[in-house]
Amino acid sequence: MKNIKLLFKSICGNLGRGETEMKKLIKFEKADCNPCVMVSDLLDKSGVEYEKVNPFNNPELAMKYKVRTVPTTILLDQDEEIKRTIGFNPEELKELIAMI
């Protein structure tokens, strides 16, 4: 449970510390998922920073964001979901990246 709280704090940031950039990108993935690798490649090539989360290792976080399949990529602003993409859809991912 402690690891999940630390991961959640890392992903969502700490509002009390006056952070100016509160947008976070989270990618839920599994190691043996080819579309997950394709999403990572696209995100890496675009140069954006993101957190990788295995929903099976972090079920509480997956439940919080209602993740039912991988890859699921979610853009958050101050812990509120702005947009999500499911699967490998380059156009949707580029739209999501443009919102950061």
Q: What is the topology classification, in CATH, of domain 2-14+22-98?
A: Glutaredoxin (3.40.30)
pLDDT in the model for residue 8 = 54
Q: Look at residue 5 and tell me whether its pLDDT is greater than 60.
A: no
pLDDT tens-digit map of 40-51: 999 999 999 999
Q: How close are the terminal C-alpha atoms of the chain, in Å?
A: 30
Where along the chain do its domains lie? 2-14+22-98
CB 25 within 8 A of CB 73: yes
In this prediction, residue 9 has a pLDDT band, given cuts at 50, 70 and 90, of low
Taking a C-beta distance cutoff of 8 angstroms, is the pair 7, 53 a contact? yes
Query: pLDDT value at position 17?
Result: 45
Average pLDDT of the chain is 87
Average pLDDT over residues 57-73: 97
Q: Enter the tokens of residue 19.
A: 């952070």
DSSP for 41-58, written as a single string: HHHHHHT---EEE-TTT-
